[in-house]
Structures are given as structure tokens and as C-alpha cells.
Amino acid sequence: MTDSPSPQPPAPAPRRAWQQLRASDLRAAARLATQATTGVTHIVEGVHQSVHASLGLRGSAPGRTGGLTGLVYRGVRGTTRWIDAGLQAALGRLEPWLERVLHAAPGEVDVEREAVLSALNGVLGDRLQADDNPLALPMLLRQQGQPLDPLALHAAGQASGKLLLLVHGLCMNDLQWTQGGHDHGAHLARTLGYTPVYLRYNSGRHVSDNARDLAERLEALLAAWPVPVQEFSAIGHSMGGLVLRGAVHWARGQRQRWPAQLRRLVFLGTPHLGAPLERAGHGIDLLLASNPYSRPFVHLARLRSAGITDLRHGHVRESDWRAPDRRAAPVPLPAGVACYAVAAALAERHCGLADRLLGDGLVPLNSALGRHDTPARGLAFPPAHCHVAWQLGHLALLGDAAVADRLVQWLGAN
């Protein structure tokens, strides 16, 4: 006679939408709604004035109507601002009570909410931060979705002298390094003894701003690490690679100490020479601006963050995006640091030029490998430090076994 299987505990019930809310989310959503109302009002008034201009009637300013019509539009905008101020004040007073009612258990990580916020920050993060919106994500060094605590790691025997930083890409977060059950950081911890540390940042900000803030945090982290740092390496996926390059460049200019401890940089699908995704959006700007009746709708097409715009030419410095032609000489790979590049291609190895230009669906092959027709505008990755993953997409780089093996080979080399 066999024992009957013990009853399994019931699976936890899925959390309802209202249970995933935070009190600050309500205030932030109200701010976004009033901003959207103001934006739509600008667009409608712009179309209205375009019609007036075709009849020879002038407005009070470009894109603004005059007379009684202009007064109505100004009234709508003023009322919207008044409503916004009232909502912010009321929700601010209710926030402590709402937080007690709605928030998750202490230490719990809401993966879905984090993913939604990260995507929103990638598209509008610069605007959210400028408006002090609670939905703007602060930069944090984390492990398993929790703020990094080096002393607690040391007490648990988990702080080694080999430190590995992982920096995610656009519209993503530190929890999304796990793809298909695989996490490059956890894999390298098991195979090579690294202590992985994950960065979570607002990817809608300028790359140069995130690079500066990351450099400051790394200076503090390595100075306070509880055991002697024998080796420090970093992996950046997509935009994360640009942030890493910018951080090293800025830190060396400020004579910070941590770059001297940096041994290896690995770039996974990083658009060193730019990405066509933002270029397509730039073309929409030009198309809409060519017609006086569609010109007001350029405001909608420009809902691309500063971070997305930086991807257009692979900018890593403030001077890059402030340059009039946005084509400043690229920042070279940091001297004294072993740099590696992994590119992916959706096509097969023996494919045409068009397939190679498509790359991984977001980043062309040559951009990920730093190859330019003009050598002075390229990046000097040694051929042995480059790897192309064929028939693989941009996000699949995070879970591919062959890429994981190549990381072990590179980061484990003497």
C-alpha cells in the first residue's frame, strides 16, 4: 500500500489591478491626465490657427489663436492647471491612508508594476522627472529587486571580492535580466564566483545624465565594499552599454577612483553607432511638419524621451547631444579595460546586406560591433573580442546559452 500524496497548498490568488496600485500612482496618474489635456488643447488650437492662417487671419503667437477663440483656449488651460493643483493637494493629504490600504507586503516585489513603470519611464522618463512626478524611477543599485545592502551581503557571506555590475536597456529594469529562466548575473555568480549587482534607472533621461549618476554611485559603492575588491567588471545590454561607456568617460574626467579597478566591459546589443528605431521617429517629425494642417501633431510624434533620442547616434556625453549637428566624434573605448561586443542578427550567417542592416531587429550588426566606414568614427574592438549570435533577436541575447558560454569564457580569462 502506497502513501497518498500530501495535499499541496493552494496557489496564491492573482492580485487584482487595484491591489497593484500605490498611493503615489494615483497622484502621478492625475498629473499625467492633466498634462495630456493641456497637450491636446495645444494641438487643437494649433489646427484651429492653421485654418485661420489659410484665410489670412493672424494669431496672437505661432500656433495660438487670437480674440475670443484664444481666450477660450487659455481658459481651458487655466482650468486644467487649477484642477491639477487641487487634485495634487487632495491626493497628497490622502496618500498616507491610501498607502496603508493598498500597498503590498513589506519586501514584496511587484514584477508587473515594475515592468509597466520601466516602460513608461523609457518613453516619458525625462518629462516625469522634470515634473517631479512620483512615477519617475530613481536610480538604485539592487539585488533581487531590493536596494543593495553590502553589509548585509557580507554578514550572509555573499559579498565576494569579484564584483559584477549589470545595466539594463531602454524601457527595462533590473528584474528583466531573467529571460527564459536564465540570468547572466546569476550564471556568472555560480560559475566564476562573481557577486552580481543590478542597476535600475530611468532610461528616459539623457544617457549622459544616467552615466554621471552611475559614476557617483560606483565611486561610493567600491569605496564601501566590505571586502577588498579583487576584480570589477560590468555588462551592459542595449542602452546600458552606452550608460557604462559614459560613466567611465565622466569618472575619468573627474579623477574618480573606481575606473582604475575596472577590468572588463561587455556590451550586449549596444547601439554604439546609433539605432534606426529613433531615426524612423525622426522621419515622422519631418513628414508631419511639412504640412501646415498636420504640423500641430508633431507634438505627438515628439513623445520620445531624451534617452530614446540619444540612441539615434549612440550619444554618451552631454556635449554629444548639445552639438548643433549631433555628430561629435565618438567616445573611444576606455584604455586599459578589456572591452567585448556581442551582436545579434535575426538572419542566418550567409545573408544579404539588407538582413545584416536589420541586425537583431533594433540594432544593426555594425552598430553593435562598433564598425564604421570611417575608421575614426568606429570603436576598436579586437576581432577576438567580438561575437555574433545569428538567428537571434535583441532581447534573446539575455537568455541565450551560447552567449552565456561566451561571457564565461571572456570574464573567466586571466
- Establish how many alpha carbons lie within 13 A of residue 137's alpha carbon, considering only the half-sphere containing its beta carbon: 29
pLDDT score at 26 = 56
Instruction: Specify whether the backbone of 238 is left (phi greater than 0), alpha (psi in -120 to 50) or beta.
Output: left
- Establish how many alpha carbons lie within 13 A of residue 236's alpha carbon, considering only the half-sphere containing its beta carbon: 27
User: pTM for the complete prediction?
Assistant: 0.75
Domain extents in the chain: 18-100, 140-276+314-411
Cβ neighbourhood burial of 354 (10 Å; 0-12, 13-18, 19+): exposed
Q: Which residues contact 390 (CB under 8 A, 6 or more apart)?
A: 344, 345, 347, 348, 349
CA distance 165 to 156: 20
Cross-strand bridge partners of residue 179: 182
Q: Please give the average per-residue pLDDT across 33-40, as a whole number.
A: 54
When the pLDDT of each residue in the chain is averaged and rounded to a whole number, the result is 78
pLDDT score at 125 = 86
CA angle 39, 41, 47 (to 5 degrees): 110
pLDDT score at 82 = 54
The domain made up of 140-276+314-411 has a fold known as Rossmann fold (3.40.50)
SS3 195: strand
pLDDT score at 52 = 45
Residue 222 has pLDDT above 80, yes or no: yes
Q: Which of the pair, 246 or 320, is modelled with greater confidence?
A: 246
CA distance 381 to 365: 13
Task: Determine what percent of the chain is predicted with pLDDT higher than 90.
Answer: 46
| CA neighbor of 166 nearest in space, from 254, 106, 237 | 237
Confidence band of 116 (pLDDT split at 50, 70, 90): confident
Least confident residue range of 78-87, 209-218, 288-297 = 288-297
Digit-coded pLDDT (tens) for 396-407: 999 999 999 999
Q: Which residues contact 116 (CB under 8 A, 6 or more apart)?
A: none
Q: Please give the average per-residue pLDDT across 184-208, as a whole number.
A: 97
H or E segment to which residue 246 belongs: helix 239-253
Digit-coded pLDDT (tens) for 245-264: 999 999 999 999 999 999 99
Which residue bears the cell 569579484? 162
